[in-house]
Chains A and B, each alone.
Chain A
Amino acid sequence: MSVNVTMPALSPTMTSGTVAKWTIAIGDMVQSGDVIAEIETDKATMEVEAIEDGVVAQILVAAGTENVAVGTVIAVLAEDGESIDEVASAAMVPPQIEDTAQSTAQSGAKTPTQPAAEGVASNTEAKPIGTVTPPEKTARIFATPLARRIAAERGIALDQITGSGPHGRILRRDVESAPAPAMHAPENYSPANRAAPLSASSMNVPAVAGASELVVNSQMRKSIASRLQESKQQAPHFYLTIDCHIDDLLAARRRLNEKAPEGVKISLNDLVIRAAAMALIDVPDANVSWEGDHTRRFQHADIAMAVAIDGGLVTPIIWAAEAMGLAALSKTTADLAERARHGQLRAADYSGGSFTISNLGMYGIREFAAVINPPQAAILAVGAGEQRPVVVDGALAVATVMTVSLSADHRAVDGAVGARWLQSFKGFIEHPVTMLL
């Protein structure tokens, strides 16, 4: 008796999905509970587990196939004693590819694959398999409509959440307090399949002219693309660059770390964040965002820091950074970066912010211009601190210099405001005692 694996409905609104990856191959033995595939929806990528034991007889939908309707048979398993060839020949089921979202209603009313699936059933008594199969086999998760919608928007799997409502029903508050899914990023980016890294052997293959590979863009990439494209197209960027001498700052940092409590290690980046926070309070005209008819003026320096993660980046926020002591700031940044890399940020950690800092100094970048993170009006690009020849009192000398560039949205921040902000920032950086006040 063969077993059909169907495209599962991973969220209440899911009508179709992409088979991102198969983790099985024809002939593999699978046991109930084994991960057999990764399915990508517009919201998230989730693993699908087998709910029956068997041998993979056929994979009907190739990895990377998009818009496979929920309920479509995507693979067939042979059970004990069956030849996989028999099963495979009996289960020639064409995958159903959705061409538009409109077919949702249709698939809800009568799954397009039903006739085919029934055909299989009559021949081979195929049973559906997969975490979630069409309605009657579904392990129902009780959640309120609002909870379902918020979970879907944030890419949070409901089966990962414990409900606190009557009979364990998942309520909105349960979803809102749940950790964000892995590799979560602003605007609810969600993880997706990425290109496999070039393996050592593939590097040895002689170059073929024009060789390339098409990689499906993940939701995170698409999200980054659309937001930053929007930013560059709509926000008139201008750029201001200034050099900061940081020998005193480095010395101060050394002294601070000598006296710092156990477990606290203040980084150069922490000091940059601190100085930026102080400068935003000092020059509040730069601590704004452009919102069409209004300009929002922030009361606090809510500083987003760009953190590179696998496949993209996230910008968790240090709320009211100006009010934090360096030790607390350092702990906060370390915690946010750690959680960002492990995909454990909550929505509240990255939603909002008044200003972003992007630091590529650790890669030896001398200076660069960053794209504003909308709706914020400015972003600071921080380069590496390096020894450079400088002129002091008419003579050449060596100083450690860090070049920073401010990208600002001219709709909300004028050139002089940006310049004053950079002066203020430079003042704090070059006279570190003042930022400790």
Chain B
Amino acid sequence: MTTTHFDIAVIGGGPGGYVAAIRAAQLGLNAVVVEREHLGGICLNWGCIPTKALLRAAELRHSIDEMKAFGITVGDVSVDVPALVRRSRKVAARLSSGVTHLLKKNKVPVIEATATIGKKLQNGRELLLSDGTTISAGHVIIATGARARSLPGIEPDGTAILTYREAMVPQDMPKSLIIVGSGAIGAEFASFYNDMGVAVTLIEALDRILPVEDEELSAFVAKSFEKRGMKIMTNVKLKSVSAGPNGVTAILAGDQPKLQADRMILAVGITGNVKNLGVDGTAVKIDRGHIVTDGFGATDEPGIYAIGDVTGPPWLAHKASHEGIICVEKIAGVGDGHAIADGAVPGCIYCRPQVASVGMTEAAAKKAGHKINVGQFLFAGNGKAIALGDDAGFVKTIFDAATGELLGAHMVGPEVTELIQGFAIARRLEATEAELMSTIFPHPTLSEAMHESVLDAYGRAIHY
């Protein structure tokens, strides 16, 4: 049994953990990553990246249907599902090996094991690894991520009732599919499977799909999904689900008729991986499946930190990475000493149409007592969007009337996931409407819709 001491040990090699380890190495700290399965975590292997590969296939498939309008004739079209999935896996594998390389380059060792936090030492903490070895570290960062939540009495079986994990490696396409939950994961799978010709029913317990987004975005996406032939049911609660040879039967609460489909995807949120960490008996607090931390990842137990999905929503890779960085910088005593500000984390959903947002929704801004100026600009008035043949959607901006602070930006439509960063930067730099108005946006680009939305908030939109 060997004992090795590190400055920082990171449990979990996802976008929170590996980024934290690299930042630690940059700061001259001696860091180690303990990862049980794949470097890159869920994001790289079973989340963000492979689903983007699938959605790209869906987008290409969809654009073939549009070819005629562009004067291009296309012959017979077929989808090779296994090939499509193989590509998605290849993309994930390439990036995972990229992370391996990055850690190696930064001289961060990776131990393939699970870890349990052990006893307090004079110079930190002991970590007991599943391979039988023990290491120790001055600071332990828990970055174990999260896993799919299931509903009571509804257990995914991996063949008929799926979680995201099986849903992204289908061997064939079902004829019909029920998706439970209409957050980012549910909406993306709904979009993908619908483009693949599957009859999709999307059900949501709350009163609208994409319930954390601005209401106008939810309504727009719902309308667009329905136009594509999806069935959307809101205010629906599952009573029970049974899987048989003929597929899945869902009994709904109330007097709603039962639903039947070949398969079901459960996308009802995720819960933190907080078991077997060895934090029982320490001051680390766990609240509803997530570790409680301050703005810098510190738990109530000195020397133990947590970042990313295991600390709670929003469950986003980029939030985890940033938390990893500020946690390590705080440990190292560098950085500007600011925790992640409210509303600083942008969110992106890659369904068709894409959704992206940062900051407060209109309802949240009003509830917080802001007097607001709201601007909106439709992509139907944007030259580039019209040329692309993809002009459905809009950009909505919300400003504090008193200070001109950009409180929130909400976008739906072509490539908005690539555009939102403009507003995220504006918020970070504390730009007001004046700077955004006087910034020159290149023509012809989709980003002009962002400019017009800002102008519209002050009654100055030019093309409206």
A binds B: yes
Structural contact, B430 and A145, CB atoms closer than 8 A: yes
Shortest beta-carbon distance from B335 to chain A in Å: 10
Q: How far is the CB of B406 from chain A (nearest CB, A)?
A: 9
| B386 contacts the other chain (CB 8 A) | no
Residues of the B chain whose Cβ atoms lie less than 8 Å from the Cβ of A144: 429-431
A residues within 8 A CB of B429? Answer: 144-145
A-B contact count (CB 8 A): 32
Whether A164 contacts B338 in the complex (CB less than 8 A), given A145-B435, A146-B404, A150-B403, comes out as: yes
| Contacting residue for A145 out of B337, B402, B434, CB 8 A | B434
Q: List, in ascending order, chain B residues with CB within 8 A of A164's CB.
A: 336-338
Residue B432 at the chain A interface, CB threshold 8 Å: yes
Q: Does B405 contact A (CB under 8 A)?
A: yes
* A171 touching B430, Cβ below 8 Å: yes
Contacts of A149 in B (CB 8 A): 403-404, 432
* Chain B 389-433 near chain A by CB (<8 Å), digits 1 or 0: 000000000000011110000000000000000000000011110
Cβ contact within 8 Å between B404 and A165:
no
Q: Which of A147, A150, A166, A172 contacts B336 (CB under 8 A)? A: A166
Q: Which residues of A contact B405 (CB under 8 A)?
A: 146, 172
Main secondary structure of the interface of B (DSSP, over half): loop
* Nearest chain A residue, comparing its CB with the CB of B432: A145
> Considering the chains assembled together, what is the distance between the CA atoms of A145 and B405 in angstroms?
9
Verify B431–A145 contact, CB threshold 8 A. Answer: yes
Question: Which of the residues B402, B430, B434, B435 comes within 8 Å of A172, measured between beta carbons?
Answer: B430
Which residues of A in the span 106-154 have a Cβ within 8 Å of any Cβ on B? 144-147, 149-150, 153
B345 to chain A, nearest CB (A): 18
Q: Which of A144, A145, A164 has the most CB of B within 10 A?
A: A145
A144 to B435, CA, bound (A): 11
Q: Give the distance in Å from the alpha carbon of A147 to the alpha carbon of B405 in the complex.
A: 10
Bound together, the chains give a CA A246 to CA B403 distance in angstroms of 47
Task: Give, as a whole number of angstroms, the nearest-CB distance from A109 to chain B.
Answer: 14
| Nearest-neighbor residue (CB-CB) of B436 within chain A | A145
- Complex Cα spacing A146 to B434, Å: 10
Are B336 and A146 in contact, CB atoms less than 8 angstroms apart? no
Chain A residues whose C-beta falls within 8 Å of the C-beta of B431 in the assembled complex: 144-146
User: How far apart are B249's CB and chain A's nearest CB, in angstroms?
Assistant: 50
Chain B residues with Cβ under 8 A from A150's Cβ? Answer: 403
CB of A76 to closest CB in B, whole Å: 36
Expressed in whole angstroms, the Cα–Cα distance for A145 and B436 within the complex equals: 11
- Contact, CB under 8 Å: A165 / B403: no
Instruction: Give B409 Cβ to nearest chain A Cβ, in Å.
Output: 15
* Residue on A nearest B427 in the bound complex, by CB: A146
**B residues less than 8 Å from A145 (CB atoms):** 404, 429-432, 434-435
Among all A-B residue pairs, the 7 with the closest Cβ atoms? A144-B430, A146-B430, A145-B432, A145-B435, A172-B430, A146-B405, A145-B431
| Chain B interface residues (CB < 8 Å from chain A) | 336-338, 402-405, 429-432, 434-435
Question: A144-B429, A146-B431 known; 10 other A-B pairs, CB under 8 Å?
Answer: A145-B404, A146-B430, A147-B430, A149-B403, A149-B404, A150-B403, A164-B336, A164-B337, A165-B336, A172-B405
